[in-house]
Amino acid sequence: MEKTICELFAGVGGFRLGFDALASGWNTVWFSQWEPGKKIQWAHDCYVSHFGDSPDTNGEYHTGEDIAEVNKTTIPDHTLLVGGFPCQDYSVAHSLSSSQGIEGRKGVLWWQIRDTIIAKHPPFCLFENVDRLLKSPAKQRGRDFGMILACLANLGYSAEWRVVNAAEYGGAQRRRRIFIFAYKDTTQYAQSIAEETAGSVILEKGLMPQAFPVSDIASLTEAELPEDLYTVSDTFSFPFKKAGYMTGGKIYTTEVTEKGEPPIVLGKILEPCPEENEDLYLDVERLKKWTYLKGAKKIPRVAANGHKYVFSEGPVAFPDTWDKPARTMLTSESTLNRSTHVVNDPHTGKLRLLLPEEAEKLQGFPSGWTGITTANGKEMPRRMRYFCMGNALVVPMITRMGRVLDTIIEKEP
């Protein structure tokens, strides 16, 4: 079986970098990256600057356009469909034009993935999302992830999932994300996995425990997915845990104990601040604001209905310590907020924000990856470099799963 990839919601190329690092013959045949409402598509431009653009089967280029407007049948065939898509509201309503159709909320990107699967039937899929997907929405816990699994089951796929903290598997950041590995029930892999118990799949035999080893699992919780997506949307709720397996519409989920590996600590990432970035140092005025934002607070407030309450939050490490992996980096990194990292510069000892190159290394990207200049001579703004990294995934986690996929693909006819 060929090792070809289609990368949706590609960002600046984290999935591609992860597979390219294997040097085992993976070839990305098409990608899509489009940021709504942005005049300059910086992430797309960064991707193209490193990898070049990808034509569709008609020889046309639509990689930097809204994926909802792309004719999915013109996407080149591929073995593996990948993508990091946002956690959104996956509820559906009956289509006005047909009682048989479904109509998801406009702009919800899961439906673009589903449409691509319907059009191209990839044998394997690998998706990434925030871990709160398992518990959303708050009013109907587990519905949204249940919708994804139900769609996959209806299309003839089984799936494994796992919430991974990158720092527990050698990463430099305490970043928790869910990875979903789906595969057609007709694949050799599916047939071999079907011979295993659900517990065995989650503990050792599946792709996820091979990529992210565990020492033990708790007792399994089971459920049956409704076949009808409207029923899932209206009534389904389930306490998904951080590991699980779905086949034939039946769900098995459990907590796991990670074997874990030593992380990369923040001190190993830091480098002396160059002169052109000296404005990242905190002056006296900014230091006061950061000290307040990072500190513990108890603030009396009044709700719209007149109810009085106290808003409270605990302290955040200030500055961030060198002997631990970094906290989760957000798209707001470098702006004045509690989540932004503040560190002691290794050369001067003074407090400053992270360099863009340090943000890249925290995600496992090569230093300088987003420091691009477009064809028309525009340099990616520093603020956008942080934004792109906050949106990115931890590249070495993809490489870990890719190694297991290599062994799976070798056994496919």
Which residues are known catalytic residues? 87
Question: Measured in whole angstroms, how far is the alpha carbon of residue 344 from the centre of its chain?
Answer: 29
Sign of CA dihedral 404, 409, 410, 412: positive
Query: β-pairing, 124-130 with 80-84?
Result: parallel
- CA Rg, the chain, in Å? 22
- The one-letter amino acid code at 235 reads T
Spatial separation of the C-alpha atoms in residues 307 and 165, rounded to whole Å: 38
Q: How far is CA 348 from CA 192, 276, 278, 281, 336, in A?
A: 57, 15, 11, 10, 22
Give the DSSP H/E element, type plus range, for residue 385. helix 382-391
Nearest to 266 by CA among 340, 327, 317: 327
Cβ–Cβ < 8 Å for 76, 57: yes
Query: β-pairing, 4-8 with 80-84?
Result: parallel
Look at residue 388 and give its three-state secondary structure. Answer: helix
Nearest to 90 by CA among 78, 105, 77, 73: 105
Q: How many CB atoms lie within 10 A of CB 352?
A: 20
